[in-house]
Homo-oligomer: A and B are copies of this chain.
């Protein structure tokens, strides 16, 4: 490892060692073995911390690896071992806070389990199809977790015949391990909360139905419909993000929350607490973590049970919802 100028360097002459690729010939395990005067097998052993290496040998090999700036190829290792130690996670609309929290949960456990996580973001039907197809068409990871996206029968059939280890989060399919919540019940919980506060005219704000294969919002709407059907002194938003929109709109139009209007959201994203938004809490990070954990089990060849696991929902009453003061109907 040569000394590299840093920090104290004259900044006038912009050092640019990294701005262009130095075509340093990659040194491989054979080269290390050769210059250390041992076999590749031995180098491999020190690489994998095998106990069967004389301390002296190990030291020498390590020294050579350092000197040659050797970086073992994960690719070669994977190919040889027969597993990629990589998992793909397919998410829709990565920037949505609820999605991000799930993603973070998944990455965290995957990282701990020694997997790299390739994330694929889906924002159009085209991307969805392309990425879903890639999952079964080529062998690029040890498994995949699909978040919030619905698989059609073709996809499913392909996953099966290709036997691609798969776990789903916030969406389900027959025969696939999935981690979900009961969104219909969630819709009811939200509506009931408002009703218990004396509201009788409750509005709903959400995605236009069937917009993009998302199933959650529609089901929440269903829960709302089942619980009530008249218009607003309170609003139930299909997601916290939409609830924030409602909050802003209310303020803009001079309505104060919760005095004039109660608002309840859904998800309990991080900023909901920050803003005092009442909401239906669902274990976002946890769902991603569990999905990942189940995928790992699957990859290990374990049987995942129960196939469908349901996480609990709860209402979190904060400051955006309050008793209906004006004329609480009996």
Instruction: Say yes or no: A161-B4 contact (C-beta < 8 A), given A19-B176, A75-B75, A174-B11.
Output: yes
* Residues A162 and B71 in contact, CB atoms below 8 Å apart: yes
Contact mask for chain A residues 298-330; partner B; CB cutoff 8 A; 1 contact, 0 none: 110111110100000000000100000000000
In the bound complex, how far is the Cα of B165 from the Cα of A15, in angstroms? 15
**Taking CB as reference atom, which chain B residue is nearest A251?**
B276
Contact mask for chain A residues 8-51; partner B; CB cutoff 8 A; 1 contact, 0 none: 01010011111111111010000000000000000000000000
Interface residues in A54-86 by Cβ distance below 8 A to B read 69, 71-76, 78-79, 84, 86
Q: Does A52 contact B (CB under 8 A)?
A: no
Q: Does A129 contact B (CB under 8 A)?
A: no
Instruction: Say yes or no: A21-B157 contact (C-beta < 8 A), given A174-B15, A248-B276.
Output: no
Contacts of A104 in B (CB 8 A): 94-95, 121
Q: Does A160 contact B (CB under 8 A)?
A: yes
Closest chain-B Cβ to A177's Cβ sits at a distance in Å of 6
* Residues A138 and B71 in contact, CB atoms below 8 Å apart: yes
In the bound complex, how far is the Cα of B305 from the Cα of A17, in angstroms? 13
**Taking CB as reference atom, which chain B residue is nearest A164?**
B18
In the bound complex, how far is the Cα of B120 from the Cα of A69, in angstroms? 24
Closest chain-B Cβ to A51's Cβ sits at a distance in Å of 22
Q: Does A286 contact B (CB under 8 A)?
A: no
Q: Does A1 contact B (CB under 8 A)?
A: yes
* Residues A107 and B79 in contact, CB atoms below 8 Å apart: no
* Residues A20 and B301 in contact, CB atoms below 8 Å apart: yes
Copies in the complex: 2
At the interface with chain B, which of A193-201, A228-236, A267-275? A267-275
Q: Does A208 contact B (CB under 8 A)?
A: no
Interface residues in A140-184 by Cβ distance below 8 A to B read 140, 153, 156-163, 165-166, 174-177
In the bound complex, how far is the Cα of B121 from the Cα of A108, in angstroms? 8
Closest chain-B Cβ to A9's Cβ sits at a distance in Å of 7
Q: Does A206 contact B (CB under 8 A)?
A: no
* Residues B73 and A75 in contact, CB atoms below 8 Å apart: no
**Taking CB as reference atom, which chain B residue is nearest A14?**
B307
Instruction: Say yes or no: A276-B301 contact (C-beta < 8 A), given A14-B307, A18-B175.
Output: no
Closest chain-B Cβ to A45's Cβ sits at a distance in Å of 17
At the interface with chain B, which of A210-218, A219-227, A239-247? A239-247
A-B pairs with beta carbons under 8 Å apart, 10 shown: A6-B153, A6-B174, A11-B174, A21-B163, A21-B165, A21-B299, A71-B139, A97-B97, A116-B118, A252-B319
A1-B158, A69-B161, A248-B276 are known; give 14 further A-B pairs, CB within 8 A: A4-B156, A6-B157, A19-B304, A20-B302, A20-B303, A72-B138, A72-B139, A94-B103, A100-B100, A118-B119, A241-B274, A244-B274, A248-B275, A251-B319
